[in-house]
Amino acid sequence: MARAFKPAVITANDLLEGDVVYLTADCGWTGDIEEAFVAAEEEVARRMLATAESQHSRVVGAYLAEVSVGSDGRPSPVHFREAFRTRGPSNYFHGKQAEV
């Protein structure tokens, strides 16, 4: 039985900086998951992932990360690993959480 597709964003690490980035609707990259393009269908997700992977001199290791979509339409991560990736480490105020 095929599993039902869940909404997902395309995420990767920036080649130069190493930090977490998300694919936007115009096939650019953002550091903020709320600005990420949300693929609601599997076919779209596959196509966008292929686009992301083709940008190999910009990002590393693109993959799909499941999100839940709030009433305002903004995505938030489902798995705790992805939640950490939106923030940074918990022992220091470093990484994304320190950027404003």
Partner 1 sequence: MYRYNDFDHDFVRTRVDQFRSQVERRLDGSLTEDEFKPLRLMNGLYLQLHAYMLRIAVPYGTLNGRQMRQFAYIADTWDKGYGHFTTRQNIQFNWPKLKDVPEILDALADVEMHAIQTSGNCIRNVTADHFAGAAADEVEDPRPTAELLRQWSTDHPEFQFLPRKFKIAVSGASEDRAVTRAHDIGLVLKRDDQGNPGYEVIVGGGLGRTPMVGKTIREFLPKADLLPYLEAILQVYNLNGRRDNKYKARIKITVHENGIDKIRAQVEEVFARNRDVFTGPPADLLADIEAAFEPPEFDNTRSATLEEALNSDAILRSFVDTNVAEHKNPAYGIVTVSLKPVGGTPGDATSDQMRVLADLAERYSHDELRVSHEQNIILPHVRRADIPAVHAALREAGLATANIGLVSDIIACPGMDYCALATARSIPVAQEISQRFDELKLEQDIGPLKIKISGCINACGHHHVGHIGILGLDRAGVENYQITLGGDGTETTAIGERVGPGFSAEAIVPAIETVVNTYLAERESPEETFLQAYRRLGAAPFKAALYPDQGVKSHAA
Smallest gap from residue 46 Cβ to partner 1 (A): 20
Q: Is 73 a binder of partner 1 (CB under 8 A)?
A: no
The rounded distance, in Å, linking the Cα atoms of 53 and 90 is 29
Spatial CA neighbour of 26 closest among 5, 43, 51: 51
Binding test (CB under 8 A) with partner 1, winner from 3, 18, 26, 100: 18
Q: Which is nearer to partner 1, 72 or 91 (CB)?
A: 91
Q: Is 4 a binder of partner 1 (CB under 8 A)?
A: no
Q: Is 61 a binder of partner 1 (CB under 8 A)?
A: yes
